[in-house]
Structure 1
Amino acid sequence: MQPHDAVVTLWFVNADDPAAVLSAEPKADRGFGRKYLALMDPTWPIAVFGQFPLNRSVAVSKGEFYIAGYPGITIVQTLVSNMTVLSELSPKLLSSVTARDVYAFAENTDTGFGGIAHWREGKIRRSFCARRDRVYEDIGLPEAFENPFWSGERATGPKRGIDLPFDPIDLVHEADVHWLGVDISAEGPDLSVVGYAIDGRKEPRIQSPKTAKSVADVVSAASTKLGINPNTRDYDDYEDAPAPQPADNHMGAAVHGSKQLARRVGRRLRTLKEVVQDKLRHTDRG
């Protein structure tokens, strides 16, 4: 990430109780994000590359959007270049969804930059953007949740010269909780989003179930490649194994079979786990 880039997360809120909506862990709709991006710019080549919890995933990279539409709430996260003041955020992005309240949170963890902003009915009420050693923007009066930061109660590390008495990114995380009413960190409820790319990449292929290998297939292939499959004659049967017991499912059968194979090659040989690891290493080279 470049020094003046920032990951910006926008929350478009029309719900009266956003905390109740988020606590229910609604699922994101892939079609919603496609329509959103198509309206933003019809020329963008849109590709979906995954669906995951926003608060348990790495932030977006250049050319990516994380999007979710919940009842009364829309989330859009993207990487914005030359971001130092949220009040100058692109009007196209800021007005991409009609909402009573719009909240913006910006971070660059490499530089320590953090920014928060709140618009009500299209008018900015609060914006604060800074690094520890520099304030870029301070619009509106500090809200009550900011007081412990300004008073030094939330200080982290020694203060040097005219440094702020807090880390701006810590203020961003506190604003999340205050404005949205729920902890949206990794400790909070899952926030399902869909990842989209607009940089021309192709959507990842999903392996067909017909071609996916079972655990038993991997075990058999590994043992054969290493010459210790019971169907070959190049192994030592140090110990007779008892007859296999019925398994509840295919996975149970595979696990039981792998244990039986490990007993046959003896305690002096490697465990089944090592066999599979060796197989994967050798097949990768081939």
Structure 2
Amino acid sequence: MPSQLGENAAIVTLWFVNASDPQSIIRSEPRADRGYGRKLLAQLNPSWPITPIGQFDLNRSVPASANEFYIAGFPGITVIQTVLEDVTSLSKLSPRLLRSVPATDIYIFAVNEETTLGGFAHIFKGDVKRSFIAFEERIFEDDGIPGGFEAPFWAGKKGTRKTALSLPFNPIELVNEAQRAWLGFDASTSPDINVVAYAIDGRPEPRIAAPRQLSSEEVTRAAVEKLGLRESSFYDDYEEYEAPDRVVSKNVTSKAKKAASSAQKLGKSLWKASREFKDTMAEKLRHTDRER
């Protein structure tokens, strides 16, 4: 399967951090705000046609594709994930992107699994403290003082070397280690990181199909199955206990009537729940584009 990314392209995730303990914020599993991401993108480029395309957990979904942004704004933390076409220098990313959110610390992580391109950078109060990005066999950028977490990789004690001429590790392995060291947690196994996804290529917003209203026959059938009854059981049981045993047949008939009454009540409840669910979904669709 051909790569969906160019050779020097990568999925780039930026963490704008003002919080002293990012891990505690992520652990609380806050929910992203649709309006926050829309406003942020409008500031990045007012001409973009911004379309919300979903809301889900960043670490439980496929990464962003071209012309997509996954965004979350939490107290003290903003997360932006997108695809950039040329990321051979993380320290020279678009100034507009790097300044889009005021932050004391900016952590950048870039990966392309198919080409082994991997990189990470730390910008503190506007100064680049560390920036590294490479293929397994070619280093594009290696600025700043390596962090302590890097030492075992450079020493060949940790990581996977592909050939004798390649780095002693896969750059993506070092990216994952940088995430753990700088953020204080492993983003791939952390509690859910809720984000809102946006497209900037003019595609229409996906619509949620309203649930189909059940017919009265389907509601009754579902009620009967819920009670574990067969539709013909009322009559079969009656025929099984015909006269002369009038007492037995009377009891069976009484039980059948009670069961039928229960099925009817359950059927009405299911029909009512179906209508309420449909009305709720319709209301959500009317308000889905409104900012909270």
Q: Fold match, TM over 0.5?
A: yes
Q: Does 1:94 align with 2:98?
A: yes
RMSD: 3.0
In structure 2, the CA distance between the partners of 1:146 and 1:42, relative to structure 1 (3 Å rule), is same
The list of structure 1 runs, each at least 4 consecutive aligned residues, that deviate by more than 6 angstroms after superposition, is: 240-245, 247-250
Q: What is the 5 A alignment of 1:18-57?
A: 18-57=22-61
**Does the 8 A contact of 2:159 with 2:173 survive in 1?**
no
Query: Which residue of structure 2 lines up, in the alignment, with residue 199 of structure 1?
Result: 201
Structure 1 residue 219, shift from structure 2 partner? 11
Q: 1:190 aligns with which of 189, 192, 195?
A: 192
If each structure's helix is expressed as a fraction of its own residues, which one has the higher value?
2
Q: List gaps (5 residues or longer) in structure 1.
A: 221-229, 232-236, 255-286
Query: Which residue of structure 2 lines up, in the alignment, with residue 165 of structure 1?
Result: 168
Q: What is the 5 A alignment of 1:114-263?
A: 114-156=118-160, 158-185=161-188, 187-209=189-211, 211=212, 217=218
Q: How many residues align?
A: 236
Query: Which residue of structure 2 lines up, in the alignment, with residue 280 of structure 1?
Result: none
TM, length-normalised to structure 2: 0.73
- Residue identity opposite 1:127 in structure 2: S
**Does the 8 A contact of 1:10 with 1:105 survive in 2?**
yes
- Residue identity opposite 1:174 in structure 2: E
Structure 1 residue 207, shift from structure 2 partner? 2.1
Quote the Cα distance in structure 2 between the aligned partners of 1:81 and 1:219.
57
- Residue identity opposite 2:182 in structure 1: W
Structure 1 residue 150, shift from structure 2 partner? 1.0
SS at match of 1:49: strand
SS at match of 1:107: strand
Structure 1 residue 155, shift from structure 2 partner? 2.7
Larger Rg: 1 or 2?
Answer: 2
SS at match of 1:176: helix
Q: Write the deviation string for residues 7-56 of structure 1: whole angstroms up to 9, x where unpaired.
A: 00000000111111111111100010011011111111111111111011
SS at match of 1:75: strand
**Does the 8 A contact of 2:32 with 2:196 survive in 1?**
yes
**Percent identity of paired positions between Structure 1 and Structure 2:** 52
Query: Which residue of structure 2 lines up, in the alignment, with residue 78 of structure 1?
Result: 82
Q: List gaps (5 residues or longer) in structure 2.
A: 222-230, 238-254, 272-292
**Does the 8 A contact of 2:69 with 2:82 survive in 1?**
yes
